Structure 1
Amino acid sequence: MLAQLKLEGIVRIHVAVELTSPLEHALRILKRDLEKVLGAQPEMVQYIESADLVIRLGEEQDHCPQRPEAFCYRFGQHGEVGQVGIIGYDELGIVYAVLEFTRTYLGIQPFWFWMDQSIEPRSKIVIPCHNVDSSEAKVRYRGWFVNDEVCLIGWKEPYPPTREVWEPVFEALLRCGGNMVIPGTDLPRDGIHYKLAAEMGLWVTHHHAEPLGAEMFLRAFPGRQASYQQEPELFERLWQEAIEEQKDMKVLWVLSFRGQGDAPFWMNDPSFDTSEKRGAMIGKVIKRQYDMISSVVPNPECCVALYGEISELYKGGYIDLPADVIKIWADNGYGKMVSRRHNNVNHRVHALPAADDGGKHGVYYHITFHDLQASNHLTMYPGSAGFLRQEIEGAFAARAHEYLLVNSGNIRPHVYSLDIMRELWLTGKINVERHLEQFVSSYYSAYHSELAELYHSYAEAAIAYGKNEDDLAGDEYYHHPARQIIGHWLQGKDGKPDPRLIWAVGEVPFQEQVKGFEERLTSGIQTWSAWLERCNQVLDKLEPGDRRRAIDQLRFHGELHSSGCEGFYWLCRAYDEFAAQRYPQAFVYASESMWSYQRGLATLRESEHGKWERFYQADWLTNIESTVQNVDTLRRWIRMFGDSPDFFLWYKEHLMPETEKYIYLENTHRNPLSDDELARRLKEHFTNSASLSH
């Protein structure tokens, strides 16, 4: 047999298997990647003897691993012509074989699209003729929940998102060895997302608030009481419709019973006022859903999301579940396997199976989150790779490795964390230093150690807003609490604490709440400023492609933290000055706040280059633009305190030359300055007169 197989020019492909929809997608990707690297479109050939690549199912003589989704490469030759068999145990095994082939031999990385990987053209590809067998994944069902995905929604004009948006998402997931997906949250039912996921070979599963993938009750039956106790036939009609619609697809059926809008069901049905009543109803509904599926689908794969109140009721012994369902445990949204914070209540109950809890278990895990408090949505997960390893390996050690669903958000800002999860769900463990070296060298051409240091130290720059190891501020920390402070202040409620802020700064007078944020933000300004300075030094060394990539994947995150940190800090300082009735100074600080937040908005716009045009247009969750508008409203309001009604008084008092104050004529000297111009000139004046501190 030949020692090496050379591919150059037009590669000839023979497909010796029925081309199902997932295999058609895999073949399309293979042909695209070969053309991208070798510069020539591959040729499909009829006879196996004339092919360079043969795509087929495994045969006995191949000794391909005998398990679902396995694949292998087997080399041979016809005369002097070498050939590689791209072989799968089953359909999804062939898909993985193709995608791993383009990664290993063509250099197409899992996140090539999302990282704007530079694909280097080559005249030929040399492949060592060594047989390859795939390893078995640690996790049986592994995938993404494309949740909080508003950037994907706003990226392109059509709604719901089209194939153009979803294909790169599902391809990246398959390249990561994923096999299941929840494609979006509460999207219109006529969208392409579920159909395309199934087309590409993925199992589909459901949001815990949409059990069985059924339509929301109140959307289907507006005006009716959303109570299973009162309307069981209507609920079951929706469930039956969902079962019929999906019975021929690969589905992990989610059994659950939450209220409308992803809230506890007793919010709509207050007669369930004890844990016993609530648990009994949830158990009854789940058993009914299970029986309905089992009557239609042979040997269905079912799971129950132990999320929020369902987890607490289950751990309290109030819910009975069918023995063979996968029990899915969830982190708190910040990566820690404990119960999530509900407003100001944070019990942090351990969220993994007890040693005597039998059956199959899995994990729902957030590397991005949206909670109106301190979560990361636009920015990379603020914790360390070591922390992610600790939590996921700990879950595996607790036998929760049948299923791993990762909240992937809108993909682009979260690539590094998603790649960590890829390694964990495939191998069950990770050496974070080695993985980081491999990750950086896969996407950047030079200065790997400097770039790795930036990825590593990113977590060290994050604001620790609480005493727990996962109490690290994401981008929402600078925006939701800030807008809450503005609302509380402008509504004249600042004489009492804002209860929405107790989770972060305690139940203390409002001025102390504001001061509590200010103190944390002061340290954050220092750490993020230092991190950005190091980042800029590395950027100056990089060639244009790497530089653009590092701006989007590193500096982007630091700038959103830094600008948000500074914006929130100046907002707190504005309140300090306002409370002391130093209104012009408060106006200047509010302007400083707005200018800082505007930097964050500019960062989003600068990242929307090329194919990424409009990508952050639908920033509706962190919503930097809303924060800018809120602070602008605030500074206009502050100007009412002493500069109204003519909006000339502060100029006259602080900026007009003394010689002019007593002789000017109002009919020629009373054109009010704009807010920005007045703020800049007052800032300069107060700084020079030492009545404005930084």
Structure 2
Amino acid sequence: MKIMKFSHFKNIKILSLLAFVMFQYSCNTRNQDLVIKGGIPIYVASDEAKPVMKAVRDLQRDLEKFFGKTSEIVNELPKDGPSLIVVTGKKYKGKYPAVEEWESHQVYADNGAIVINGADMRGTIFAIYTFSEEILGVPPFWYYSAWEAEKKDEITISNDLNINIKSPEVKYRAWFPNDTDLFAPWRKLSRENSEMWLEAALRCKMNTMEWFDDERDYADKYSVSPTTRLIKEYGLVNTSHHHSPLNASFHGWNDYWKKTKDTVPPELSLANVKQVEEFWRYNVECIVRNDINMLWVVGFRGSGDHPFWYTFKDAPESMTARGEIIDKMTKRQHDIVLEVTENPDTQFRTIFYNELSDLLAQGYIHPLNDPTLIRTYVATRRDHYPNNDIQQLDDNSDARLGYYFNYQFNSTGSHLAAGEGPWKMEKNYRYVAEKSNKPLAYSVVNAGNIREYVMELSANAAMMWDFDSYSTDSFLKDFSTKYFGEEQASEIAKLYSDYYNSYWKSKEADFENFDRQYIFLDLRYRRAIQDIAKKFNDGYKSNPLEDLSNEQVKGRTYRIEPEDNGADSQIGAIITGTKKAADEFLKVAHDADAIYKNLPNDKQPFFNDNLRAPAYFMYYLNQCLLHLSQAYQMDDSNPDQKKLVNNTIEDLENAKETLKTTEHGVFLRWYEGDRVFGFDRVFRSLNDINKN
């Protein structure tokens, strides 16, 4: 008898084990078993919420994939024969008491039926997907992993089945799809592409989406964007971005006055505070009128991802005065929300991003004293570890804390290949959680294009539900088993570790217990290649890489420390670091080749997409920067210089072609939207070297 493992969360209380019948049982044992076949009816009460019904239809689809027969959804309890009973709360008096706490859920056998019960709407949704994952074997990211159902005639389970999952340890667990150059155009290709990220989030038991409403049409009065409506339809909590407090980015200022108010927009200034408050109030009313479940963001920033003094020309010069204005405006936003919602228990959060983090650390701003407020701290920019503001917080704080961690960062971070890794994510969250006496209240990870971060997103979801007992090493073994099978799971889990440890650590860690604090991610390679290529014909400089023009912290753009690499210059450090990283990534790639050959055919595509191809991609990027740097330090008269430049171009072509191997199935056109890495721009920069 092959025993299925319930490995989704460690706090699942399994009172008996689910078993596939692999051989003939005695008659007495068979009478105790519950047999599920194609066409098994699904009972749902007629008053269940629409998001629950959406998940029920997903269950219907999952069953049909396995059995090849449609299960009917019924509103009356079947009188005999096996059935699935989907129920929220205490509507069904079954074998076990109904679960009651926030998002808790259970799946159990009860006299020939399987009861799928949640304490609330999302609890029931999570129970449905728990059944699909633990009993049918449908992984949360099935759409993103080329997963195929194993056709069956029937599944036999024990009549003592009882899966009972307690409330999550982190209340609000969010994803933030930001910087979606690949994801956004791909979403438009089909309805499935447009929505499957939300289904995957719920299958991972996430409950919140961080989104910004810049796509809203102000001509459609009191409307919200299609994506905001979609988030609501899936039963997820909505929260907005740090540049869009109250769901109101100042990008929409002119549109509001022109299209909604049919008037000339007033100047966006502190002197026009009444008009600013009117704009905020309108945006709050849009959310309330559309019955959106909103975790409200308050905080004062400017247009786009900038401090308010970039936008408001009458802003004061002193940081003290700027901090006072932020505090005042944040308090007014808070009051407007309470005035419109008329609900004293409305939940809020504020986000200490960029300049707000600096101002908080320097004592210029002061968070609202409100028990409903979650203080969301943000990992440092470019290299993601706890910033100064959270470091300065007393370890015994009574504040409700949240944390924003970047898996993907658009200017110098990971973009086309995952790089931060689940161990670094875990270390960040452990540090933040220790700063308060209260459980962590909010988590969000930025992974804009989603596909590259399937494993990392899964790790974050697992940790946020079961924070105290989560272990990245244990998670990786479970993840590898789920997606690639048990036979090679341990080997694959180790290979993930080898992959992340192959990244070039361009500077030694200076934060305790963060061994991968400073790593060179793919957008740093792209930026370094372009910067050197543009200066290639202007004469050699041993330290050619400069900070971005708007860099607020000196030396932060690249974080190359020559001494930590046994070198005396940037170029020397690059050559040393990329040689080592290239060798290590190539070893990972070759080890992946060996595993790939022995995987079942249906497991090979996702293994290539998520681990093997990224290893080859990062190998070629290291080779590209290495060869370019070697050529750059050569005298122009050296005949090997042009050869190395051509090798650089060939390396970049190989990197691009490696990514193309991941374009299959629904992802055939995945890289058409590439603009952030910008292969074409990099090729032009390299080809320009040979023109001179």
Q: What TM-score does the superposition give when structure 1 sets the normalisation length?
A: 0.83
Give, in whole Å, the separation in 2 of the partners of 1:84 and 1:539: 38
Bigger Rg, which one? 1
Candidates 106, 128, 131, aligned match of 1:98: 128
* 1:58-113: CA deviation from partner (whole Å, max 9, x where unpaired): 22855223222222234333xxxx11221222211211111111111111111111
| Correspondence 1:86-165 to 2 at 5 A | 86-129=116-159, 130-157=161-188, 163-165=191-193
| Correspondence 1:172-321 to 2 at 5 A | 172-183=200-211, 186-187=214-215, 191-217=225-251, 220=254, 227-247=268-288, 248-268=291-311, 269=313, 271-297=315-341, 298=343, 299-321=345-367
Q: Is the 8 A contact 1:14 1:45 kept in 2?
A: yes
Candidates 407, 423, 434, aligned match of 2:446: 407
Change (3 A) 1:275 1:387: same
AA partner of residue 54 (structure 2):
H
* 1:546 matched to 2:592: no
Change (3 A) 1:76 1:520: closer
- The alignment partner of 1:595 has SS state of helix
Q: Which residue matches 1:440?
A: 480
Q: Which residue matches 1:58?
A: 89
Post-superposition shift, 1:483?
Answer: 1.0
Q: Is the 8 A contact 2:187 2:194 kept in 1?
A: no
> Which has the larger displacement, 515-524 or 348-357?
348-357
Change (3 A) 1:601 1:300: same
* 1:408-432: CA deviation from partner (whole Å, max 9, x where unpaired): 2211111111121112101113223
Give, in whole Å, the separation in 2 of the partners of 1:108 and 1:352: 44
Q: What TM-score does the superposition give when structure 2 sets the normalisation length?
A: 0.83
Q: Which residue matches 2:680?
A: 625
Post-superposition shift, 1:46?
Answer: 4.1
Q: Which residue matches 1:327?
A: 375
Q: Is the 8 A contact 1:304 1:327 kept in 2?
A: yes
* 1:8 matched to 2:37: yes
Q: Which residue matches 1:500?
A: 547
AA partner of residue 529 (structure 1):
L
Unaligned runs of 5+ in 2: 1-28, 218-223, 259-263, 510-514, 549-554
Q: Is the 8 A contact 1:326 1:361 kept in 2?
A: yes
Q: Which residue matches 2:418?
A: 380
Change (3 A) 1:270 1:594: farther
In angstroms, what is the RMSD of aligned CA positions? 2.8
Give, in whole Å, the separation in 2 of the partners of 1:184 and 1:262: 12
AA partner of residue 6 (structure 1):
V
Give, in whole Å, the separation in 2 of the partners of 1:621 and 1:18: 46
AA partner of residue 292 (structure 1):
I
Give, in whole Å, the separation in 2 of the partners of 1:621 and 1:435: 31
Q: Is the 8 A contact 1:64 1:133 kept in 2?
A: no
> Which has the larger displacement, 8-17 or 487-496?
487-496
Give, in whole Å, the separation in 2 of the partners of 1:132 and 1:338: 36
- The alignment partner of 1:296 has SS state of helix
- The alignment partner of 2:448 has SS state of coil
Give, in whole Å, the separation in 1 of the partners of 2:252 and 2:107: 52
Candidates 593, 596, 611, aligned match of 1:536: 593
Change (3 A) 1:219 1:484: farther
Change (3 A) 1:380 1:185: farther
* 1:594 matched to 2:649: yes
* 1:635 matched to 2:681: no
Q: Which residue matches 2:58?
A: 29
Post-superposition shift, 1:45?
Answer: 2.9
- The alignment partner of 1:205 has SS state of strand
Q: Which residue matches 2:398?
A: 358
> Which has the larger displacement, 403-412 or 543-552?
543-552
| Correspondence 1:421-436 to 2 at 5 A | 421-428=460-467, 429-436=469-476
Change (3 A) 1:224 1:100: same
Unaligned runs of 5+ in 1: 340-347, 638-694
Give, in whole Å, the separation in 2 of the partners of 1:351 and 1:145: 24
Q: Is the 8 A contact 2:395 2:434 kept in 1?
A: no
How many residues are aligned here? 616
Identity %: 23
